[in-house]
Amino acid sequence: MKPPILLVEDNSSDEKLTLLAFRQHAYGHDVVVLRDGADALDYLFASGPYADRDPAELPAMVLLDLKLPRIGGLEVLRRIRAAERTRFLPVVVLTASREERDVVRSYQLGANAYVRKPLDFTDFVEAARAIGTFWLLLNEPATGQRGAP
Amino acid sequence: MDTEQLTGLDDFWRVYETAGHAALLAESLPFGEGRAEQVAAEREALRRAVDGDWSGCEACARALGATYALQGVEPTVWMATVTALARRLTPLLVTEYGGDPARLAAALDAAQAWFDRRLGVITGEYLRARGAQGAESRFRGLLEAAPDAMVIVGSDGRIALVNSQVERVFGYTRDELLGQLIEVLVPERFRARHPEHRDGYFRNSHPRPMGAGLDLYARRRDGSEFAAEISLSPLRTPEGTLVTAAIRDITQRKVTETALKLANRELEAFSYSVAHDLRAPLRGMNGFAQLLLDRYRDKLDAEGQDWLQEILLNARRMGGLIDALLSLARLARSEMRPQRVDLSALARAVAAGLAARDPERDVSLVIADGLHADLDPRLALALLENLLGNAWKFTGHTAAARIEVGAVDADGAPAFFVRDNGAGFDMAFAEHLFGPFQRLHPAKEFPGTGIGLATVQRIVHRHGGRVWAEGRVGEGATFFFTLPSRSAEAAP
């Protein structure tokens, strides 16, 4: 069983579109959807409703929206990078914002990539294909991050 | 000096001395100050004049002239008193030396010389003293007329002069401040370091704002403080350098600035939310319409497919509008770093880009050489891209299209222009040209977001310039803009 892709997204339309876009380019990985930043952190650190999860089982990558209920995407990113276990977890910021300060802040906090959600669905599918191909196939994750073959 | 003159002066002096001159002088010079001393001084001065040394006489005359000037005695009045003294002395001389006409003549000549000299010196001194007084009163007038609180400080840091605005702003009376160290107006927490700054300024003084880039505060008599803007300028005087400090209470301005900053932050938050929140539902509409069209095309007839296309088209258009609005907002708040920009070279580069994107168009481009202006290079590029892009677009249906970039003289400063012979516009709608989303042409004919000229206007306005347009339907349009020169503004 390959580790899942973690999609943190609160907009249900965007969620469906992202799932559709990744349907062909998830390379056998499931997509786990979490709808706010607090849930995402609970999932990753096996706390709260996810207390029975094994915290050593990390997703293959995180697709992280920035504007999220409860805990925002940038804060989620900061806590992911602060924790020893998740320090090298691939995080792709997938957001509507093209604000320079969001881009800069994301990279400062250690995002691996910053992708603006394209308005056009064909472009979105293309973006999903590029992200999936690179982070799930080509990229060599740090030790302990590698998905099962 | 010849013997005759000496004899004359000697005789004149003897009469002056023996005829009870103290009373005479007291009577003739009613404006003299410290009369007894004055008389004694006159007598001593005259004695030395007999020996050929006129300096004492001149000193006495100067003192009298200054006294007259100081007391505001009109020249006609004091001239009358001085000549009255001469008239009183003449009969005394005649009585004394009448028996010897030659000696009398010499004594009278000597008296004449003495009075002439005296009158000359007094007049000179009177005018000089009045002139200086006039200059000082004019200076005081200027000081009072200034809108700011003005404090003039000597190199010892003590207050030499203040205007009444100081009394109003600081709550001190003039007398309480004169002679005090300037630090009395400085909040306690800055006092210790202030004399050092002040000495530094006296050593290298030129007009400049104080504490550039710092928030300055001044202290009122009651200990309260206010935000202040202070300009310093040196005043060279014969007594040494004085420094004029113009102090302005900017509390109100600070309040306005803070409100403005807050408004800008809100605007920023608003554009951010536009970026995020408006695009998200749009992506949903667009994405699902596209999915429908891709996967269920065969279930829709031609009309149904056309309608879906319309949905997609409109969603895309709305996306373009949101992006344009956001870039306009970003433009308005981006930081500016103006510098000398070669507009001719930049216009050529932009035109080359347009031609490369549209190789089948044949447009004749005429770009004048040597067009320079002071503006932010990034904004300069956006400015020319929009103006030239506009000209390029609106000559799209014109045979022998021509775009010209140049400058004309507008009240002594260059007004740059971009002229085309394209679709033009009706001057009746000229004022709508620069509004965001204002369009004077159907989108089908000339597509666009309607944000280009609003961008142009915002760029020009941010640099303190003007922008306007002239046009005629079917004959073309000319867009003019001015950009104030920074060097002219920076002149001291």
**Residue B489: which residues within 8 A CB-CB, separation 6 or more?**
none
Residue with tokens 């973006």: A127
Q: Looking at B141, B158, B182, which one is the last position of a domain?
A: B141
Is the domain of B352 the same as that of B479? Answer: yes
Which residues of chain B are within 8 Å of residue A97 when distances are taken between CB atoms?
A: 272, 275-276
Which of A46, A61, A71, A65 lies closest to A2, judged by CA? A61
Which residues of chain B are within 8 Å of residue A14 when distances are taken between CB atoms?
A: 280, 283-284
pLDDT of residue B491: 34
Q: How far is A43 from chain B (nearest CA, A)?
A: 25
pLDDT of residue B482: 92
Confidence of residue A105 (pLDDT cuts 50, 70, 90): very high
**Interface check B279 vs A, CB under 8 A:** yes
- Closest chain B residue to A125, measured at CA: B287
pLDDT in tens, B206-244: 777 777 667 889 999 999 999 898 888 888 777 778 888
Q: Please give the Cα distance from B410 to B466 (Å, whole number).
A: 11
Whether B280 and A20 lie within 8 Å, measured CB to CB: no
pLDDT in tens, B2-27: 455 557 778 877 777 766 565 565 56
pLDDT of residue A149: 40
> Which residues span the domain enclosing B377?
339-490
Residue B272 CB coordination number (10 Å)? 17
Is the domain of B378 the same as that of B425? Answer: yes
| B85-99 residues labelled b (16+ CB within 10 A) or e (exposed) | bbeebeebbeebbee
Is the domain of B136 the same as that of B16? Answer: yes
Lowest mean pLDDT among B38-47, B179-188, B471-480: B38-47
Is the domain of B280 the same as that of B409? Answer: no
Is the domain of B235 the same as that of B102? Answer: no
Which of B252, B251, B177, B255 lies closest to B221, judged by CA? B177
Q: Which residue has the higher pLDDT, A2 or B271?
A: A2
Q: How far is B327 from chain A (nearest CA, A)?
A: 10
Q: Work out the average pLDDT over B157-166.
A: 90
Confidence of residue A64 (pLDDT cuts 50, 70, 90): very high
Residue B426 pLDDT > 70, yes or no?
yes
Lowest mean pLDDT among A46-50, A107-111, B170-174, B200-204: B200-204
Most A-contacting residue of B273, B274, B283 (CB-CB within 10 A), to test interface: B283
Contact (CB, 8 A) for A108 and A88:
no
Most A-contacting residue of B273, B279, B331 (CB-CB within 10 A), to test interface: B279
Looking from the CA of B426 toward its CB, the CA atoms found within 13 Å total 5
Which residues of chain B are within 8 Å of residue A98 when distances are taken between CB atoms?
A: 275, 326
The token duo for B26 is 């007291």
Whether B282 and A119 lie within 8 Å, measured CB to CB: yes
Confidence of residue A91 (pLDDT cuts 50, 70, 90): very high
CATH number at residue B379: 3.30.565.10
pLDDT of residue B213: 64
pLDDT in tens, B276-330: 678 888 888 889 999 999 889 999 999 999 999 989 888 888 888 787 777 777 7
pLDDT of residue B186: 93
DSSP code per residue over B391-431: HHHHTTT-TTEEEEEEEEEETTEEEEEEEE-SS---GGGGG
pLDDT of residue B345: 94
pLDDT of residue A146: 45
Residue B136 pLDDT > 80, yes or no?
no
Contact (CB, 8 A) for A13 and B279:
no
Q: Looking at B263, B298, B333, which one is the last position of a domain?
A: B333
Contact (CB, 8 A) for B65 and B122:
yes
Q: Please give the Cα distance from B357 to A118 (Å, whole number).
A: 23
Which residues of chain B are within 8 Å of residue A20 when distances are taken between CB atoms?
A: 287, 291
The total domain count for chain B is 4
- The gap from C-alpha A115 to its chain's centroid, in whole angstroms, comes to 11
Is the domain of B344 the same as that of B321? Answer: no
Q: How far is B272 from chain A (nearest CA, A)?
A: 7
CATH number at residue B97: 1.10.490
Q: Please give the Cα distance from A62 to A111 (Å, whole number).
A: 10
pLDDT of residue A77: 96
**Amino acid letter, residue B235:** L
Looking at chain B from residue 174 to 213, which residues have their Cβ under 8 Å from any Cβ of chain A? Answer: none
pLDDT of residue A78: 96
Is the domain of B484 the same as that of B352? Answer: yes
Whether B276 and A97 lie within 8 Å, measured CB to CB: yes
Is the domain of B42 the same as that of B114? Answer: yes
Q: E strands along A12-149, which residues? A: 31-34, 61-64, 91-95, 113-116
Confidence of residue B130 (pLDDT cuts 50, 70, 90): confident
Task: Identify the top-confidence range among B119-123, B173-177, B408-412.
Answer: B173-177
Q: Please give the Cα distance from B413 to B47 (Å, whole number).
A: 72
Looking at chain B, the whole-number percentage of residues with pLDDT higher than 90 is 24
Which residue ranges form the domains of chain A, and what is each CATH number? 31-127 (3.40.50.2300)
Is the domain of B477 the same as that of B371? Answer: yes
Mean pLDDT, rounded, of chain A:
88
CATH number at residue B162: 3.30.450.20
Confidence of residue B30 (pLDDT cuts 50, 70, 90): low
Confidence of residue B79 (pLDDT cuts 50, 70, 90): confident
**Interface check A11 vs B, CB under 8 A:** yes
Is the domain of B485 the same as that of B370? Answer: yes
Q: How far is B271 from chain A (nearest CA, A)?
A: 10
DSSP code per residue over B124-191: HHHHHHHHHHHHHHHHHHHHHH-SSEEEEE-TTSBEEEE-HHHHHHH---HHHHTTSBGGGGS-HHHH
**Interface check B267 vs A, CB under 8 A:** no
Q: Work out the average pLDDT over B336-363.
A: 90
Whether A13 and B281 lie within 8 Å, measured CB to CB: yes
Mean pLDDT, rounded, of chain B:
82
Residue B418 pLDDT > 90, yes or no?
yes
**Interface check A107 vs B, CB under 8 A:** no
Looking from the CA of B119 toward its CB, the CA atoms found within 13 Å total 18
* Helix B21-28 × helix B75-97 angle, to 10°: 150
Integer CA distances (angstroms), B227 to A43, A44, B248, B250, B262, in order = 52, 51, 8, 6, 19
Which residues of chain A are within 8 Å of residue B290 when distances are taken between CB atoms?
A: 120-122
Whether A99 and B316 lie within 8 Å, measured CB to CB: no
pLDDT of residue B27: 60
Is the domain of B153 the same as that of B287? Answer: no
Q: Looking at B333, B360, B389, which one is the last position of a domain?
A: B333
Whether B284 and A14 lie within 8 Å, measured CB to CB: yes
Residue A103 CB coordination number (10 Å)? 16
Whether A119 and B291 lie within 8 Å, measured CB to CB: no
Is the domain of B22 the same as that of B64? Answer: yes
